[in-house]
Amino acid sequence: MSFDDDKKYIGNTKKFFGSITLYGGETESYFPREIKQIKQSSKIPKIKEEDNIIDWFYNIVNKLPEQDPTLFTVEPNIAIVLEIKHSPIKSHTGKNCEISQLNCHALIFKPQKDIKDIQKLYNVYEDLISSRNTEISMSDLTDMIQYIRLDYHPNELGDLFSHPLPHIHIDPKGGLRFPFPVSQTGHIIENFIEFLYLNYSYKDWINWAEWVWHETFDKEEKDLEKEGKKTKFNEIKDLYKQGDIKLFHMQDNPSLIHTLSSLLEIEKSALTRFKIPDVYKNINYHQMCFELLR
């Protein structure tokens, strides 16, 4: 099997993280990095009650000299607006950079009719507000967007147990907060981007996962293929889909699923040096109760 065309996920995420790579001494980073050119002190405005999510996105795009919505895309249907505050980076040390505050807005576009991607949505919106297009309404456009935001504000936890840290919003104006789990490495942004791919671009994610597996076990997998046997990666997929408990307790190789998880985590952790401090991982009321009662 050739993986030359199956590195799209890792290629796009490397491009994403490369665009927010820090320079020495900086304590704020953005995606796209062009946001840094915005003169206002509040470069990414909060979404107000009266705001429409497309209005909000359009206004940010138009603050940039390029006025190009594709600067925000990691996929044609996924746009990201990211703001991070963090400890100063020490160039060339290779040390991780601790995040002190983070807002990562994701706009996932659901293609409809002739509107196939974020760029086309932007163009149709411009036509709509200039009265060049009366065939589609603002509510039609808004319905094409799924909004998800990752928040990490350790100094603004809100009322007792009301704000898990970190958490996810699916309403741009607040509302429900869902705990967002953080891996042991603390590399939260990678996990969020992976979460988006798992839900909205799964084919790219599974191709990447198989490529990562073959990077370590390519010879073993090819030997199984030559013998006409199922590869271990396909075995993992099939057992997981069937909900087979053997995947987690196999006598011959009890760590198969954990090996895959570890390999993926290592690959993700190499993408960036941003992480959250250990003390602020998974501040979640129900998780605390679980740990106490375990």
> How confident is the model at residue 266, as a pLDDT?
87
In a domain, 75, yes or no: yes
Residue 260 to residues 92, 238, 263, Cα–Cα distance (Å): 30, 14, 5
In a domain, 2, yes or no: no
Number of domains in the chain: 1
> How confident is the model at residue 2, as a pLDDT?
43
Catalogue the E-assigned strands of the chain. 28-31, 73-75, 78-86, 97-109, 145-152, 167-169, 178-179, 274-275
Q: CA-to-CA distance for 288 and 52, rounded, in angstroms? A: 36
> How confident is the model at residue 36, as a pLDDT?
85
Closest C-alpha among 31, 54, 47 to residue 196: 31
Contact criterion met (CB below 8 Å) for 88 and 27? yes
In a domain, 221, yes or no: yes
* pLDDT tens digits for range 11-41: 677 777 777 765 556 788 889 888 888 877 6
In a domain, 121, yes or no: yes
Range of the domain at 73: 8-293
Q: CA-to-CA distance for 161 and 154, rounded, in angstroms? A: 13
Q: CA-to-CA distance for 172 and 286, rounded, in angstroms? A: 24
Contact criterion met (CB below 8 Å) for 141 and 121? yes
In a domain, 231, yes or no: yes
In a domain, 232, yes or no: yes
Pick out the chain residues at pLDDT < 70: 1-11, 21-25, 41, 89-95, 113, 133-134, 245-254, 281-282, 284-294
- The whole model's pTM is what? 0.86
Q: CA-to-CA distance for 194 and 179, rounded, in angstroms? A: 16
In a domain, 33, yes or no: yes
* pLDDT tens digits for range 74-116: 888 899 999 999 887 665 555 678 899 999 999 998 877 678 8
Q: Strand 178-179 relative to strand 78-86: parallel, antiparallel, unpaired? A: unpaired
Q: CA-to-CA distance for 31 and 103, rounded, in angstroms? A: 11
In a domain, 280, yes or no: yes
> How confident is the model at residue 161, as a pLDDT?
78
> How confident is the model at residue 124, as a pLDDT?
86
> How confident is the model at residue 249, as a pLDDT?
65
Kindly state the helix (H) or strand (E) to which residue 227 belongs, with its residue range. none
Q: CA-to-CA distance for 224 and 218, rounded, in angstroms? A: 10
